[in-house]
Structure 1
């Protein structure tokens, strides 16, 4: 077998950004040619972006994608390029990879299996192709092979599994490709980021290369393409069960070309980072892309001094730190589309101040500890920091209601309402600041709060984007301790010394989150089984009774509380701000877990708990 130089090309695309998407593809091809790459593989749906949603169902959108392919072909002289796009044939749309060899279109390979779990709804848009079927497709006056194809290049026989195709076990296309004696399988993918997912991919690529006795090359999309899903831009090469090459993930670049040779030797292998680092990298890239693609000028954050808002403040600062490190200050600022001229010797901290404005919105129930925590963190990061109280607004609202209903509101009788009006009163003024700054308002709810509705609608749920709604509070508390040292963020010291509390009741009532709910470590375990694994209340009790050091009666009450609050608060989850998908699962009803707004609330299932 000849030694060939190949490359994977990952691109940060945006639906409907036709010119930008095309330009990034051309630049990647030009880069590959300059490095004498012979075969260049782009990701799945690289021409349009994966997140085009119901645009795929239109007639004009796939036609425009084909027109873009036609424009691309003349630029592919002296190189073979594989690139993904949708193709409509009559009433059906197919997810395909077009293969261009020396400026000539050689064929379309169509995806055979659709991703339908979790965040994926591909059956809504695409029709799976039948194995071994090949038809003629008319393109620019020529009949082009379309379907289940393989190709040859200098004695190398190669084929494709497109993303989900590779995850279908014994029925995956790789077995048929192996029967055809291919030497190389490409897997162009649009695989969303999730913490620790890279280990699953690595294992699959290694097993595939061993199982099919061939080289196996994986190429993924890059960046926060359309708002919620982040693509990590991973490129892998494996052979004989061994990883030979891996790029660095979650780049701030518009594209990456990662070359390698078909030789049974290890080449460049970037390290796999622990979960805490992945969270930083994905969140900071997600925020960067969301900011620039929404054409906003910065972020505004209601900084309480607690865990959630402090996590988000650090993630914005990390976005600046990592963007400058990878792109350089000039390019980073240009990509954001803002004007910035540093005036100090610390442009990183100065730029954080230009992009992040925070405000501590206190009440008579707020403590000096949380104020000092917020102020210290903001100053350490370089963020703008304001402070005001909202007691006047709260008193105005409550006075009007008291006059209307003819009685005083009391904590004994009106606890939830008095808590909510404080959280909700913060929203209009922080939105005003965001509007004045032409900025995105950052919502501070986490996934654990979303589970049980421990969030005030139009209060702490207010925002343009909710960066941490995809991760649980137990992880956030752990991550903050890790970040203080590993990210060199001494401003987190005060945050990490505090017990999480909403500070919405009078201080003498000693409110804490876990006292209101249950230990966050317990919520995580119940959530994992109830939402990720879709287990019943009884199943969860039987599985956890020996794992957790809790009395049976206490565990049953926690399970009941979780399911009752979960059912009661679906309407809130339907209205949460867009959130990044960061973990193996999430609770977003639009992209992962659909649940009825109105239901019986597991009443009978929870009654059965008391019978065991």
Structure 2
């Protein structure tokens, strides 16, 4: 077997941006040619982007993808290129890898197993291919092999497992590739980002290289492709049970090319592996990149944020500042500004702090129930990162709404009788004015809801849920609280000192009532523990009680009351989750019904199941 120069190209693609996607592919091909690469593998659905949704069902979309495949052929002289695209045969659409070489298509390999869990709905668009089946596809006047096949390059036999194919245990195509004596298995993927997932991939790739007796090469998509899902652009290479290459993840670049010789020359050191990051670092890098892509792909001018001085809005402010810092570090200031369409009105010599001020506008919208502590926290944080800081009172608006309702009801509103309404009107009164500022600035309004609040509906519809994008809706409140401490100490954001000294509170009740979030709900670590079992693991109330009664230092009756509260609030607030702003998928699970967990808007609310739990012996 001869030495083969291998390369993987991660690409940040966008559905319907045909020319942009094609240019990323061509740039990567040219760079690979400049490095004398023999075989270049792109990720799954690299021509169209993975997030094309129901466009895959149309007749014209797969046809146009084939037209762009044809456009790529002249650029494959002297190199083998593997590209991902949808292909339609006999009214069915398949998720395929096309192998191009010297201006010709050698064949199409369709995916055999489809991802249908969590954020994936591939069975809606694609049909799984049957193992061992072969047919042909008429492409550009020629009959091209289509099906379960392998290829050869310089005496090296290679085949494909496309993303989900590799995760199907004993049924995976890799075992049949092993029987066919392949030397190399390529895994082009569109594997969504989640904190901690990279380690799982490392195990898969390393163990696969040993079990399948072949070198294993994994190449993933990159970036916030189409709004919700983030791809980390991971490239992994393993041989004989050893991980030999792992690249830096979550790059701001349009593409990355990673190349090396295989088999690895014994006289040379193996390719460098990057360290696996902590969840805090992964979260920061992922949201920073997602905000960057969302900003530039929506062609918005910046962000607007209602900055309360509390944990959630402060987290988002820091993440925008990190977007600027990391983007400039990766791309340089001129290219960063060009990418976000601001090169004409922002001086490329500006500092990170100055550029943050051009991109992030904040407002503290106080009431008579707001404290000096939260005002000072918001102001000092905004000033520390360079964000524009506005302040105003919404007491006049709240009073106007309240007077009108009191006149309609013929009575005064009272906290004892009208608590929720009096809280909600404050949150809702903030929404129209901050939306107005976002509209005037042609900016994205950032919603501040977190996953814990989404679980139990501890958020005001058309109030703090208002926004164009909800960056932290997929992570829990206790994660946010510890991340803020980490960001202050590790990232050096000293402006978080006052934020981290505060106890989380909505500040919607009069000050003498001393409102705190955890008194309204339950301790956040308890809420997260219940949520993990109820939503991620899909356990019943009684199962959760039996699991947690030994783990948590709580009286059984109190634990039961917390579990009952969670399920009652969860059930009655599904309608809110249906209306939350689009959010990024960041953790093992989320509660967005459009991407991960579907639940009926109307239901019996677990009444029978909660009774069963209540009657359980303590």
Write the distance in 1 (CA, Å) between the matches of 2:423 and 2:73. 62
Structure 1: distance between partners of 2:476 and 2:488: 19
Q: How does 1:85-484 map to 2 (within 5 A)?
A: 85-264=85-264, 266-339=270-343, 347-484=351-488
Offset at 1:94? 0.2
The runs of 5 or more residues in structure 2 that have no matched partner are none
Tell me the TM-score normalized by structure 1. Answer: 0.99
- Matched residue, 1:591: 595
User: 1:218-244 CA deviation, whole Å, 9 max, x = no partner?
Assistant: 000000000000000000100111100
CA displacement, residues 191-240 of structure 1 (integer Å, 9 cap, x when unaligned): 00000100000000000000011100000000000000000000010011
C-alpha deviation, 1:271, in angstroms: 1.6
Q: Does 1:45 align with 2:49?
A: no
Shift of 1:340: 5.6
Distance 1:105 1:339 in 2: 41
- Superposition deviation, residue 325 in structure 1: 0.5
> Quick one: distance in 1 between partners of 2:196 and 2:366?
38
CA separation in 2, counterparts of 1:206 and 1:486? 31
Q: Structure 1 CA distance, aligned partners of 2:197 and 2:398?
A: 45
1:72 and 1:342 map into 2 onto residues whose CA distance is 36
* SS of equivalent to 1:412: helix
The answer on whether the counterparts of 1:243 and 1:266 sit within 8 Å (CA) in structure 2 is no
For structure 1, which segment, 340-349 or 54-63, has the greater mean C-alpha deviation from structure 2 after superposition? 340-349
In 1: Cα distance, 2:222 partner to 2:350 partner: 30
Q: Give the superposition deviation at 1:344.
A: 10
Residue deviations 1:340-381 (CA, integer Å, cap 9, x gap): 666797611000000000000000000000000000000000
In 2, Cα distance between equivalents of 1:261 and 1:172: 27
- Gapped runs of 5+ residues in structure 1? none
Matched residue of 1:573: which SS? helix
Structure 2 CA distance, aligned partners of 1:367 and 1:115? Answer: 49
Q: SS at 1:414's partner residue?
A: helix
CA distance in 2, matches of 1:19, 1:473: 41
Instruction: Report the alpha carbon displacement of residue 269 of structure 1 after superposing the two structures with TM.
Output: 1.1
Distance in 2 (alpha carbons) for counterparts of 1:365 and 1:428: 20
Report if aligned partners of 1:28, 1:256 keep a CA contact under 8 Å in 2: yes
Q: Aligned to 2:105, what secondary structure does the other structure show? A: strand
| Residues in 2 aligned to 1:269 and 1:96: alpha-carbon distance in whole angstroms | 29
SS of 1:273's equivalent in the other structure is coil
Q: Distance in 1 between matches of 2:270 and 2:551?
A: 42
Q: 1-side partners of 2:607 and 2:550: how far apart? A: 25
Secondary structure of the corresponding residue to residue 417 of structure 2 = coil
Whole-angstrom CA distance in 1 between matches of 2:610 and 2:558:
14
Equivalent residue for 1:544, pick from 533, 543, 548: 548
CA distance in 1 between partners of 2:73 and 2:409 (Å):
72
SS at match of 1:109: strand
TM-score, scaled relative to structure 2: 0.98
Would you say the 8 A contact 1:344–1:350 is kept in 2? no
Q: Establish whether residue 59 from structure 1 lines up as the match of residue 59 from structure 2.
A: yes
Does 1:522 find its partner at 2:499? no
Q: Hey, what's the Cα distance between the residues in 2 that align with 1:486 and 1:342? A: 29
Counterparts of 1:271 and 1:77, CA distance in 2:
36
Conserved? CA contact 1:245–1:260, under 8 Å: no
For the Cα contact (< 8 Å) 2:334–2:343, is it kept in 1?
no
State the shift of 1:339 in Å.
3.9
Question: Within 1, Cα distance between the matches of 2:379 and 2:54?
Answer: 45
Instruction: Quickly say closer, same or farther: Cα 1:490–1:6, change in 2 above 3 A.
Output: same
Give CA-to-partner distance per residue, 1:77-97, whole Å, 9 cap, x none.
110000100000121000000
